[in-house]
Amino acid sequence: MQWKVAIIGTTRNCRDEMEPALQTFTTEQNLALLNEIVIVDGGSTDGTWELLQQWAARVPKLRVYSVPGANISRGRNEAIQRTDADIIVTFDSGTRYCDDWLKWMLEPFEHQGADVVGGKTHLVGKTLFESCMAGFREPTKDAIQPSHRGCAYKREVWERIGGYPEHVEAGEDTWFNTQWHALGYTYVHAPQAEQYWRVRSSWKGIFRMNRRNTRGHIRLREPWGIWTITAITALHILLPVLFVWGFLQPVAWLIAVILYGLNLAKRMLQKGRWREFMNPVRIVVGAYALLACDLGMTIGTLEGLIALVKDKMPKVRGSSNDI
């Protein structure tokens, strides 16, 4: 290949998930396509950093750095700053990749004039709860908004955008996609580059992930998907109001049930999802998982709006922070 290629990642406390990724990208086949692998650890305490050091001692092309406190955006920026590669490939330690994933990610740069390339994400789950959550997959999303658990772009794209936004803890990849799209860069979707992301295994994990992602999404004023976020947030603010109102006007309870029922029907039956929810048990578990998504999104939206207002507020001179 005519360009230097580096695959970069950031991690924190993901020891068990990191090892399979290292095994994938350090095969002879993949190392032949790479100039280097750069991984930034954000301050792990579970043995991830020690694991990375062990692998770096065995694989000359692997370079690892410890940057305690680094979030995803800073970790990626730090990794990219530490390489002079022309093409940056991003990966996530919690994702599994097909053996030829890297080859398919790089092919569009040589033959299709790509500036940005995205792989195809498969949501997977091992438990009943996880498989129901995975049933809410968006089959066309990667072709529009590539997840940066599997994305590649020319270094000039990152430089022109100015890197990932480090003031948010999540939502950075959607924002990054919006920026390169607005700048007119050429995107190629590579469906052969398959990546498998295991969804969160608990209600709390899903809630926290959606809360964090939505908070960053709103704070970055990211337009993609904003109507969906607005509709879901509005519904889950309205429902408690209708519940309280129902003590005065019982018809409000009926309205609440109808609205939420229509929401569930639309979300669980559209885009072929009905195949995932063919029995009552999966419907109940799916609705339970969806509630975690929606409540996390609602609270994340409100927190993001508050943070957005604070971001715009001028600092008061003479405050304790100025001393």
User: Where are the alpha helices (H) located in 151-202, listed in sequence order?
Assistant: 155-161, 172-182
Residue-range definition of the domain harbouring residue 45: 5-199
Answer for the pair 117, 190: CB distance below 8 angstroms, yes or no.
Answer: yes
d(CA 269, CA 161): 38
**CB distance 93 to 17 below 8 Å:** yes
Our count of domains for the chain comes to 2
Of 199, 229, 258, the residue that ends a domain is 199
Same domain, 157 and 20: yes
Are 235 and 280 part of one and the same domain?
yes
Q: Of 144, 179, 199, which residue sits at a domain end?
A: 199
**318 in a domain, yes or no?**
no
Q: Does 147 lie in the same domain as 26?
A: yes
Give the whole-angstrom CA distance, residue 133 versus residue 176: 26
At which of 142, 165, 199 does a domain end?
199
Contacts of 215 (CB under 8 A, 6+ apart): 168, 169, 170, 171, 300, 301, 303, 304, 307
Residue 322 lies in a domain: no
DSSP code at position 112: S
Same domain, 186 and 249: no
The model scores a pTM over 0.85? yes
Q: Is 182 among the domain residues?
A: yes
Whether residue 319 lies inside any domain: the answer is: no
Do 276 and 148 sit in the same domain of this protein? no
Closest CA relative to residue 153, chosen from 192, 98, 109 = 109
Residue 317 lies in a domain: no
Q: What is the pLDDT along the chain (323 residues), one digit of tens a residue?
A: 678 999 999 988 888 888 888 999 999 999 999 999 999 999 889 888 999 999 999 999 999 999 998 899 999 999 999 999 999 999 988 889 998 999 999 999 988 889 999 998 888 888 999 988 988 877 666 676 788 888 999 999 999 999 999 988 888 888 999 999 999 999 999 989 999 988 888 999 999 999 999 999 999 888 888 899 999 999 999 999 999 999 999 999 999 999 999 999 888 888 778 788 888 899 999 999 999 999 999 999 999 999 888 877 665 444 333 33
142, part of any domain: yes
Rounded to 5 degrees, φ, ψ at 182 are -65, -30
CA distances in angstroms from 212 to 185, 298, 300, listed in the order given: 28, 11, 6
Whether residues 195 and 222 fall in one domain = no
CATH number of the domain at 46, please.
3.90.550.10
Question: Does one domain contain both 31 and 137?
Answer: yes
